[in-house]
Amino acid sequence: MRKLVGIYKQYGLGVIPRILKSVIRRFGVLRETLLYFEKDLNSEDIEKRLSKYNYSDVKVLSFNEFDNCDYLDENKKALYKKRLESGDYTVFGVFKDQQLVYYSWISFKHLGLPFGFNTDVSLSKDEALLEDSFCHPNYRGNGYHAKVNVLRLKTILQRGKKKAVVQVLNGNTPAIKVQQKSGFKLKKKLILTKIGSKTNIKTVSVND
């Protein structure tokens, strides 16, 4: 019940399509629409945004912090360990009372796709992806995502990248609002379909 309440808070009435998608997934059919946002980076804009926040509770994470998380299953831990060992990812975390309550990743090489869409898509050399953010249910509503978003943009710029990209699941209104407030612009939609082992990606451009 608590999980359903959390999904409703995130998607509102959009929870109904989420439930339907979950049903058809049991028959081996996956279908999702991702909103693809982009932001051109510049240091002046980022520094102005950084000045609004206190980052004393944020740090770059190593695998040890994830290994000690009792709310992560072994599959998640294995994935995060693989990412960190590859050198293609950076992850920031927020701590409260010595507990990791929020984390958020940057991918410098791969355009990750959710929900079992395992097609490997590479980012361009000038791009980095904001992905895979999680906040413990007891600490949501504290603005961690908006705060860490800016820190991730600074890190991407420091790595010599010119653009940040992010994918948001269609209907995830809170995440969409955060990216828009961070200066991201919707550029296209990715319609993902997977039947059996075959994945198809349809790209639909969105006018500014």
DSSP tag of 52:
T
Residues 208 and 185 sit within 8 Å (Cβ to Cβ): yes
Where do the domains of the chain lie, and which CATH numbers do they carry? 32-205 (3.40.630.30)
Element of type H or E holding 49: helix 43-50
The pLDDT, as a whole number, for residue 4 is 44
Average pLDDT over residues 162-167: 95
Range scoring the smallest mean pLDDT among 92-101, 111-120, 140-149:
111-120
CB-based contacts of 123: which residues, under 8 Å, 6+ apart? Answer: 107, 108, 109, 110, 111, 129, 165
- Give the distance, in angstroms, between the CA of residue 30 and the centroid of all CA atoms in the same chain: 19
Separation of alpha carbons 175 and 180, rounded Å: 9
Range scoring the smallest mean pLDDT among 30-39, 70-79, 112-121, 154-163:
112-121
Separation of alpha carbons 35 and 29, rounded Å: 20
**Whole-structure pTM value:** 0.81
The pLDDT, as a whole number, for residue 64 is 92
Confidence of residue 18 (pLDDT cuts 50, 70, 90): low
